[in-house]
């Protein structure tokens, strides 16, 4: 059975990440502001300077967002920006969710079937090899769905 791994190294792959151009005098530069538009932001981080804050407010209004948080300014294509400590996506990877994922990883296929009998397709002795493989692949998707549901449950408790 595959293991479930939760990892967030930087903002660029996050669905809540957005960028805007960072204006410079050099037309060859492609620096950007990094913004977080996650609705789970607890408090908005203001722009680091007057220009950054003006851009944050303009973008927030333009995208019709309730919250928008500044992550970084003057980010170039090769820069590695660490995930901020206050990132809501990192907060979602709480001890509770980590423990749940560890629990799922510790279960055998049989134990998964016993713990979640209505979620997984049963494998019977008469199933062909192809059918068994198909059911096992379906199980991986079901595991991810269980983790997503648990994550939503954790988030709803926080509100």
Q: Judge if 58 and 107 occupy the same domain.
A: no
Q: How many domains does the chain have?
A: 2
**How many angstroms separate the CA atoms of 142 and 122, rounded?**
13
Domain that holds residue 100: 93-158
Structure tokens at 131: 């059918």
- Domain assignment present for 6: no
Contact 96, 151 (CB under 8 A): no
Condensed to tens digits (0 to 9), the pLDDT of residues 23-41 reads: 888 878 888 888 888 877 7
Same domain flag for 70 and 103: no
Report, as an integer, the average pLDDT of 3-14.
66
DSSP 66: S
Burial of 95 (0-12, 13-18, 19+ CB in 10 A): exposed
Residues of the chain with pLDDT > 70: what percent? 86
Strands 32-36 vs 17-21: parallel, antiparallel or unpaired? antiparallel
Q: Which residue is associated with the tokens 């990094």?
A: 34
Would the CA dihedral through 44, 45, 50, 52 be positive or negative? Answer: negative
Task: Reply yes or no on whether the pLDDT at 1 is more than 50.
Answer: no
CB 120 within 8 A of CB 23: no
pLDDT surpasses 80 at 6: no
- Look at residues 84, 108, 123 and tell me which one is the last residue of a structural domain: 84
Residues 98 and 142 in one domain: yes
CA distance 159 to 70: 22
In a domain? residue 4: no
Mean of all residue pLDDT scores within the chain: 78
Per residue in 68-124, pLDDT tens? 888 888 888 888 887 777 776 665 567 787 788 888 888 887 788 788 888 877 777
Which run of H or E residues covers position 92? helix 88-92
Domain-embedded: residue 128: yes
What pTM does this model have? Answer: 0.51
Q: Is the pLDDT of residue 159 over 70?
A: no
- Answer yes or no: is 5 within a domain: no
- Residues 141, 146, 152, 155: what is their CA dihedral angle, to the nearest 10 degrees? -130
pLDDT of res. 158: 64
Number of residues written out for the chain: 159
Mean pLDDT of 45-68: 82
Percent of the chain at pLDDT exceeding 90: 0
């Amino acid at each position: 059975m595959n293991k479930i791994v939760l990892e967030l190294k930087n903002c660029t792959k996050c669905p809540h990440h957005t960028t805007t151009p960072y204006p410079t005098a050099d037309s060859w530069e492609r620096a950007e502001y990094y913004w977080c538009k996650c609705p789970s932001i607890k408090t908005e981080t203001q722009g680091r300077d007057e220009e950054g804050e003006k851009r944050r407010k303009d973008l927030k209004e333009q995208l019709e967002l309730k919250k928008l948080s500044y992550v970084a300014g003057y980010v170039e294509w090769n820069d590695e920006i660490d995930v901020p400590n206050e990132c809501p996506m990192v907060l979602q990877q709480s001890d509770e969710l980590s423990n749940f994922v560890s629990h799922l990883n510790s279960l055998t296929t049989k134990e998964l079937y016993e713990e979640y009998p209505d979620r997984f397709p049963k494998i019977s002795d008469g199933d062909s090899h192809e059918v068994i493989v198909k059911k096992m692949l379906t199980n991986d998707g079901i595991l991810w769905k269980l983790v997503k549901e648990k994550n939503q449950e954790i988030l709803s408790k926080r509100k």
